[in-house]
Amino acid sequence: MLNSSGRVAQTTIKSFIGLDKFERVNAELLPHNEGKSKVSSILKKDFSESIEISIVTGYASLDEILKAVNEKSDSQKMKILVGNEPSIGSLTTVKSSPRQLSEELKRYWLEQRSISLTHSLVLLNAYRKIESGEVKIRINSATKPLHAKICMTEKIVVLGSSNYTKPGLHSQRELNSRFTIKDKERYESAQNFVDGCFEQSEDYSNELLDLLKQLIRKTSWQEALACACWDMLDGMEGDDLLSKFNLNNTDLWPHQKYLTIFLKK
């Protein structure tokens, strides 16, 4: 079907059956961020049903890492290996020393980025878990740059294109593969790869704790209230918000209606 400009019209058979090709992809087998599917939702469910969690990611956002650490239960073991941080400049180049990378990570987060979780309970809880050794944080020390993205438990492996960042887990066009320990050969191969990556890494816990200390500061009650509201609302769909407080969309002020639309994105 052509529109007035001669281009193929966007209204396709999807208008009649409510699905497009992307939404037909089974997110349990191939986790993606199309439609209502989110890679983060698949990982959150897999992590919640597991005892041991390993995350290997070439690129990670600090706030997503802190969320994962915060959500870890006391009975779970977690280890995280990062290669690099996303950057607007020099961090994208390969570094010869992980210590050099560590210093640039600090400058990047403290000087160039605004961290949404800076004054959050999430940050404080993650700090406690890292400091106590509940969560192991390591950084790539191999001469070969780390670009792999693997999340693994004692039951499930998810690997593919998603970095452990908000875009990679929530919004970018990504495609990953998900399989269980029943696929013995693939699972054992993935385990060997993950073990190899951790063997060629070094502890990053102290450096990260030092960074988090610098991010924790006293704040006004207004800022603290705003952060608490964000932590409560983060990840909540607009419809969930309305039902939680027994609200109808017609009862809201215009700016409140905008918030529910924003949460549905």
Please spell the DSSP secondary structure of 129-158, one letter per residue.
HHHTTSEEEEEE-SSSPP--EEEEESSEEE
pTM: 0.70
Q: Please provide residue 217's backbone torsions phi and psi, each rounded to the nearest 5 degrees.
A: -150, 165
Looking at the chain, the whole-number percentage of residues with pLDDT higher than 70 is 60
Alpha carbon 149 to chain centroid, angstroms: 11
| pLDDT given for residue 253 in this prediction | 63
The full set of domain ranges for the chain reads 20-220
pLDDT for residue 264 is more than 50? yes
pLDDT, greater one: 206 or 116: 206
Q: What does each C-alpha distance from 224 to 97, 154, 158, 218, 263 come to in angstroms?
A: 38, 38, 36, 9, 21
Distance CA 225, CA 41 (A): 27
| pLDDT given for residue 201 in this prediction | 95
pLDDT band at 254 (very low <50, low <70, confident <90, very high): low
Does residue 144 come out as left (phi exceeding 0), alpha (psi in the -120 to 50 range) or beta?
beta
Sign of CA dihedral 43, 46, 50, 54: negative
**Model confidence over 160-189: pLDDT tens digits?**
999 998 899 999 999 999 999 999 999 999
Alpha carbon 218 to chain centroid, angstroms: 27
Sign of CA dihedral 99, 101, 107, 113: negative
pLDDT for residue 112 is more than 70? no
The answer to whether domain 20-220 has CATH 3.40.50.300 is: no
pLDDT, greater one: 226 or 108: 226
Q: Within 13 Å and on the Cβ side, how many CA atoms surround 36?
A: 5
Amino acid at 188: E
pLDDT band at 43 (very low <50, low <70, confident <90, very high): very high
Contact yes or no for 118/223 (Cβ under 8 A): no
Contact yes or no for 176/162 (Cβ under 8 A): yes
Mean pLDDT of 123-136: 90
